[in-house]
Amino acid sequence: MQTSAAAKFRALHESGCFVLPNPWDIGTAKYLERLGFKALATTSAGFAFSRGKPDGAVPRDEMLAHIRDIVQATSLPVNADFMAGYADDPEDVAANVRLCLATGVAGLSIEDSTGRTDAPLYEKKLAIERIRAARAAIDSSEIGVVLTGRCEAWLLRHPDPLRTALDRLTAYAEAGADCLYAPGVSNPDEIAQIVRTVAPKPVNVLVSGFNHQLTVSELADLGVRRISAGSGLALAAWGAFLRAAQDIKTNGTFNLLADSAPSADLNELFREKS
């Protein structure tokens, strides 16, 4: 079953452009499948916020359990936001990737962010070795899981994010990444340049609050193969919750509850999926 899901997920990257939305719990995963999306991805931030933690503060085993929950909640291929592999050394990244594969995922991503303020990106050689180690772990499983190599230059406010991303994403592709991803890039010309540079390998683009004006068709025209929302859907839900809660506390009114989802519809959805 996992091999079949991985094959379906890999096939989605071969032509065209598809949206990979990010549920943060079982209910949102089931609803996104109901809408007709072809694959899903976890969101580290969305899940962390649901646990009352900042992004990056969820420990490995808790994240693995969450990833397994999402995989088991849907028949769709699931890509795991696996942070930086929960390790520094390539050998440890490989070991953790094997644990992630055991959850049943069809894909996973490894980023090059260290989580340290003094050196926010792994040194390039080490970053490449980490991708190569993840690739070897996947290949040894013979499952065909899709590996995404991420460069965090934009999110970490690197002084020259485009040059850094082009240099690193090219290297990650050569090290065995199937898909390349630089979350935070929003300029169409820069997106197109990334697509051209790593071709023929597919590129994932994050669409969130900073570049929400970009459409699926516009990104497809730029050559993007995969579009993810990251924590965008979770943040949209949090936005509605915060506004409604603040309105109750500040104004003593409940007007913003008028736009809430009908409980009858949700009961019907989850009754069908139970």
Q: What percent of the chain has pLDDT over 90?
A: 96
Q: What's the pLDDT score for residue 32?
A: 98
**pLDDT exceeds 80 at position 208:** yes
Domains and CATH numbers, the chain: 2-232 (3.20.20.60)
What percentage of the chain reaches a pLDDT higher than 70? 99
Count the neighbouring beta carbons within 10 Å of the beta carbon of residue 21.
21
DSSP 113: B
User: In the structure encoding, which two tokens stand for residue 63, read together?
Assistant: 């994240």
pTM of the model: 0.96
| pLDDT tens, residue by residue, 26-38 | 999 999 999 999 9
Distances (CA, A) of 208 to 46, 70, 117, 118, 273: 13, 21, 24, 27, 29
State residue 93's pLDDT score.
98
CA distance 47 to 89: 25
Q: pLDDT-based confidence at 273, cuts 50/70/90?
A: low
163-200 per-position pLDDT tens digit: 999 999 999 999 999 999 999 999 999 999 999 999 99
Which neighbouring-strand residues pair with 97?
none
Query: Per-residue pLDDT tens for 216-257?
Result: 999 999 999 999 999 999 999 999 999 999 999 999 999 999
CA dihedral 171, 173, 174, 178 (to 10 degrees): 160
CA atoms of 203 and 127, how far apart (whole Å): 19
Start-to-end CA span in the chain (Å): 20
Phi-psi sector, 42: left (phi>0), alpha (psi -120 to 50), beta: beta
Question: Strand locations in 121-181, DSSP E?
Answer: 146-150, 179-181
Question: For position 211, what pLDDT does the model report?
Answer: 76
Least Cα distance to 241 among 266, 259, 263 occurs for 259
Beta bridge partners of 107: 79, 146
Q: Name the helix (H) or strand (E) containing 228.
A: strand 226-228
Quote the mean pLDDT of the chain: 97
Residue 274 — pLDDT band, cuts 50, 70, 90? low
Q: Which two structure tokens, joined as six digits, stand for 204? A: 């994932």
